[in-house]
Structure 1
Amino acid sequence: MNNPLGINALRSSAQVFVRSCSKPCGGLSLLNNSPARCFSFLPNLQSPQLTPSFPPSPLTSFRKCRPVYQWRPSGLRTLKLLNTVIIHYVDLPPNYKDEEGLQFLRRDLDAKDVIAIFGPGMTTLAANKLLRILHGRRVAGTLDDPTVQINTRSFSRGEIKLALDYLRKNIPVDEIANAGLRAEDELAALEGEKVEEDAEEFKPGKRMPRLYKPFEKTEEAKKPTVYGESVFEKIRARNMARIEEEMRQKEEEERQKEEELAKLTPGELAKIDKAKTRQVSPRMQEYIKKATSDLEAPPEMKSWERILPSAVAVLLGIGFLVAYAEYYRPPKRAERLWPDIPPAAATVLGLAMLNLVVFAFWRTPPLWGFLNRYFLIVPATPKPFSLFGAMFSHQALFNHLLPNLTMLWFFGTALHDDVGRGNFLSTYLGTGALSALVSMSVYVLRGHLHVSMCGASGALYGIGAAYFWLHRFEDFRIFGLPPEPMNGVPGLAFLGLGVGINIIGLFRLSVHNIDVIAHLSGAAFGVLAGHFMEKKLKAKKELMQKKAQIEGAIPSPVPVDQGLVQKVAPEKTA
């Protein structure tokens, strides 16, 4: 008789089943399988066995105050047989171990979710390990098995209870049925029933090996009993039928793949093999090493030590930008770099070119270390200059850089025409840096040091909010809508719409890769900048009117007494 678990374990598990039948099962709601990405663009990380098509993105560890790069095959999740979350006992993989557990979500929880479940006292690594172990026990039916409790003895009872509450609320598992199936297999082994031998590796035409294998019933066991058919037998039969169908489909897919490969020429097969085994060059490995941090965790620093240097740098920068806007004078046409292009278009095109240049730098491996230091905001190891450099940094072309450049063209040229180059550039750079400072400070104070941020979204929300604030009571039409004679939509409505969308985004799990805090703070600083520019432009207009009146360029708006003119005129003539 094959008894790999041991008599004591079998007896204890069988006893556990009796106790577990009186315990309630977990909830039946399903958690959204999209954990937080933490506001940084994180492209698919490539493997050292594959040539990377773009630079890696920083994760949770650091070297020399620089984010780390970790590489993995971009298609790894699609190649694993265990891609989905396992919740049935019969689906247990053959290599299941209690100390490793089972994956409870498609991705591990991040620090934000861990804090929400356990509070700030548990690390992300430990929390995910505990959740994996407990989820594995729920599926394997060993939640109360004393022989496996040694693997969770480092966790308190309160932490285990919080983890079980979270799993039962979000990942539906029939713990009673799983415990019953496990106990049934163990009792069958104790009674000496024959266990089916099927331990070969999976091959086309073979069944998948399993840790707990179905067994052939004896003739005595097959006879009907006075108690009727067991509920567990019905569950087992249904699950086994499903597994057989899945195995048949996999065998058919493997057969089709073999037939397709057989039709390929030797040259095509060689290309496929070469693509699979292509190695990263030694030079590329050196670039990756230089741009990779060797810190296993963020350095121990107080919150104010991370925020204060960046805040001082931003405030000094704002002072310089205010002075620049006050004393800037537009150059003459002959002195301009592009005299044939309108000033607004020239300014916006210059900013767009800077963004494109930095985007090209991200595709240049020797510059990765420099870009990580000064063009990427990392709250764990902040660099003051990065709050200005990050607004020119984008790592995705179609879903980040191009949308931002489009908005820059529409809002940038419009605001530039209203306020001039000095005020426009000061608003763009100032709101971008201030929104980045607010976003970084929020994540530092909340302990989310694993995030990284880049992009011009805060600056774009700043100039967009400033423009709509200057035209808050004017009507706008989009593609001629709404048609005449209906009034257009006021600028204040567009401003409220942009703010409202981002406020909703704060409570949605699907936008964790969007820096909503930078958007909202950029819009707030944009409204503030628009208010001061409005007062400045109004004062300038009044000054010009007074100057024109003094010089006699326009008639005085004060009414003149005609009789007084007739009376005084002869005296002046005399």
Structure 2
Amino acid sequence: MEAVSVYSWGATFVGCAIWEYESMRSHALNMLKKPIKFFRRQAEYGLDKSNKLSKEVTKWWNSLTTGQKVFGPICALNILVFAAWRIPRLHPFMLNYFASNPASPHQCLPMLLSSFSHYSGFHLLANMYVLHSFSTGAVYSLGKEQFTALYLSAGVISSFTSYFYKILRKQPGLSLGASGSIMAILAYVCMQYPETQLGIILLPFITFSAGTAIKFIVGLDAAGVLMGWKFFDHAAHLGGAATGICWALYGNKYVWPQREPIVSYWHQVRGSIK
């Protein structure tokens, strides 16, 4: 199972490194083609009356921050998976691939896919609210590719932590939800900006620093693990938080730069920009 976890984490890291390379390559090609596009637009001006809805959607999308553009697809995927849980005939498939379970014959994909899976509408709403609140700051600090690598890696690591805890305590059961990945993002932001003031939605008069918040959350989940609480998957939360903290301390400096050999190899396979 540990090998499966390492394989899954490695796949997310490699995929995001290649994505960053492709984004940079696409940007370079677009810059080279800009003069051609300019003259083409001038020639076609007034002839193409494409539908206004498409233009409005494009205008709205371009007005979003990079963090919001990353949050949008993640939120949409979570909503689609939530909708799939509402279809009874899909339940066997969803249980096999969108819920992590140490007793399942499928171990690799559920570690990742379960982090996009919610059965409860309230669980989905709460997780997406927290992710939306912290994604902009995290993407600004990390960039969209490194953010995605952290988010997906934390999903795998939190699932593995949950597996390990259930096996240790002999408590089989299903786990699903984006909480592990979101805990990593939350922990990263709190570590990077510990003096940022946070608050509670229903109690806006209560504020506390981000550094205090992450200490309290980690302490609460550690107590949940030690005392065997079952209200949340506290082990998965701890796994996600540990990933975010480690990434803030070491990942950006020591792990992400190691993508260079991957990018160089991909560049050779794909071919140089032409």
> What is the TM-score when the length of structure 2 is the normalising length?
0.71
CA–CA distance in 2 between the matches of 1:419 and 1:327? 15
Alignment partner of 1:476 is 2:197? yes
One-letter identity of the residue aligned with 2:110: S
Matched with 2:224 is: 505
One-letter identity of the residue aligned with 2:137: A
Q: Deviations over 1:257-310 (max 9, x none)?
A: xxxxxxxxxxxxxxxxxxxxxxxxxxxxxxxxxxxxxxxxxxxxxxxxxx2453
Larger radius of gyration: 1
Percent of pairs with identical residues: 26
**The one of 154, 158, 181 aligned to 1:459:** 181
Matched with 2:115 is: 391
Matched with 1:430 is: 153
Kept in 1: contact 2:9–2:153 (CA 8 A)? no
Deviation at 1:461, TM superposition (A): 0.4
Q: Deviations over 1:83-107 (max 9, x none)?
A: xxxxxxxxxxxxxxxxxxxxxxxxx
SS at match of 1:455: coil
One-letter identity of the residue aligned with 1:463: I
Kept in 2: contact 1:324–1:426 (CA 8 A)? no
Alignment of 1:283-298 (within 5 A): none
Alignment partner of 1:368 is 2:91? yes
CA–CA distance in 2 between the matches of 1:380 and 1:515? 17
One-letter identity of the residue aligned with 1:358: V
One-letter identity of the residue aligned with 2:197: F
CA–CA distance in 2 between the matches of 1:505 and 1:370? 31
Change (3 A) 1:499 1:308: closer
Deviation at 1:513, TM superposition (A): 3.5
Matched with 1:529 is: 247
SS at match of 1:514: coil
Gaps of 5+ in 2: 32-56, 258-274
CA–CA distance in 2 between the matches of 1:395 and 1:455? 8
CA–CA distance in 2 between the matches of 1:476 and 1:416? 19
Structure (1/2) with the larger helix percentage: 2
Alignment partner of 1:313 is 2:7? yes
Alignment partner of 1:414 is 2:137? yes
SS at match of 1:385: helix
SS at match of 1:422: helix
CA–CA distance in 2 between the matches of 1:436 and 1:310? 11
Change (3 A) 1:463 1:517: same
Kept in 2: contact 1:431–1:459 (CA 8 A)? yes
Kept in 1: contact 2:100–2:114 (CA 8 A)? yes
Alignment of 1:246-395 (within 5 A): 307-308=1-2, 310-321=4-15, 323-324=17-18, 327=21, 329=23, 338-381=61-104, 382-395=106-119
Change (3 A) 1:528 1:328: farther
Deviation at 1:328, TM superposition (A): 6.0
Q: Deviations over 1:363-413 (max 9, x none)?
A: 112221211111011111242100000001111112x11111111100112
CA–CA distance in 2 between the matches of 1:455 and 1:411? 17
One-letter identity of the residue aligned with 1:393: S
CA–CA distance in 2 between the matches of 1:533 and 1:326? 16
Gaps of 5+ in 1: 1-306, 483-487, 540-574
CA–CA distance in 1 between the matches of 2:62 and 2:222? 43
Q: What is the CA RMSD across the aligned residues, in angstroms?
A: 2.9
Change (3 A) 1:364 1:432: same
Change (3 A) 1:360 1:322: closer
Q: Deviations over 1:125-151 (max 9, x none)?
A: xxxxxxxxxxxxxxxxxxxxxxxxxxx
CA–CA distance in 1 between the matches of 2:130 and 2:71? 11
Kept in 2: contact 1:310–1:383 (CA 8 A)? yes
CA–CA distance in 2 between the matches of 1:388 and 1:322? 14
Deviation at 1:459, TM superposition (A): 0.3
Deviation at 1:481, TM superposition (A): 5.9
Kept in 1: contact 2:75–2:128 (CA 8 A)? yes
Kept in 1: contact 2:198–2:209 (CA 8 A)? no
Matched with 2:215 is: 496
Kept in 2: contact 1:505–1:516 (CA 8 A)? yes
CA–CA distance in 2 between the matches of 1:520 and 1:312? 18
Kept in 2: contact 1:378–1:452 (CA 8 A)? yes
Q: Deviations over 1:31-70 (max 9, x none)?
A: xxxxxxxxxxxxxxxxxxxxxxxxxxxxxxxxxxxxxxxx
Change (3 A) 1:308 1:528: closer
SS at match of 1:339: helix
One-letter identity of the residue aligned with 1:525: T
CA–CA distance in 1 between the matches of 2:7 and 2:107? 10
Kept in 2: contact 1:415–1:467 (CA 8 A)? yes
Deviation at 1:444, TM superposition (A): 2.4
One-letter identity of the residue aligned with 2:217: G
